[in-house]
Structure 1
Amino acid sequence: MSEVIDRTTPTFHVTPGYGVTARELLGYSQAVRIGDRVETSGQGGWNDDLVVAEDLEQEIVQAFDNVGRTLAEAGATWADVVHVNSYHKAEPGAESIGDGHNRVMVREFRNRLGGRAPVWTQTGVTVLGLATMRIEIRVTALVGSAG
């Protein structure tokens, strides 16, 4: 007899470390999975104590690492990602997000996606959840879609 899998009931996932803190303090989960679809909340470049890296490049790399950790909790990987939203706090007076952000974002996409090119929406913002944040990344993944 084969097992019947419920593809409609959401399961919520909390990343160990910072995710537990966010759940306790702010009442939200880091990811939700419904069937093969995983949606993450925005992931910043923070450590488990919610301290944001001072260097922009390190902050972006840590945000990518945190997306990976959160996806893993929900049974997905970067290889399953089909959509990325990134939110960037640009320098005051800047007319665009800038090469400092884009250079690292593109490098990390290439390092983590193995040639896959998901859709990507970049948005410039004036503030993010923590005062020291300059980047936040949220993704949608379809488990098994990497083929």
Structure 2
Amino acid sequence: MITERLKIRKFTNNDLRDLYNLLSDEDVMEFIEAPFSWEKTANFLNSVALIDSPLIYAVEDFNQKFIGYVIFHEYDKDSFELGWILNKGDWGEGYANELTKAFIKISSKIGKNLIIECDPTQEISKRIAMKYDFEFLGEIDGCSVFKRKLINKI
């Protein structure tokens, strides 16, 4: 899939170093979990990204620079989860907004709602959810949960 500035694709084994650089960064992982080791990153790649129905997809620019990844997988029978983890050097470029907009269109095409879960102190993700008309459902299992009901256009 291609957006205005990004290419979303399946991960390959060749993405391991870029994924490690992303997931081992303390600033990137601040609201998620402790930074990943090389071994944990390799296990994550194999168990989440390289499976037949991936839970995450690589995001790169048109020069094939790895930007991060987008989370897009079934959340429940009516919804898909959406999220993104981006390299610190790419923060502030509007990529999270661009990905959100693109996946709202995809979820509309497949007839599913979208869910965003984030740390309650992660203000940027919460702001993006509100900007795109996600409804705050509350704090569930330590996460702020937002839902955007199926709407045919944004």
* TM-score bracket for this pair, using the shorter chain length: 0.3 to 0.5
Higher RCO structure (Cα 8 Å, ≥6 apart): 1
**Structure richer in strand, relative to its length:** 2
Structure with the greater alpha carbon radius of gyration:
1
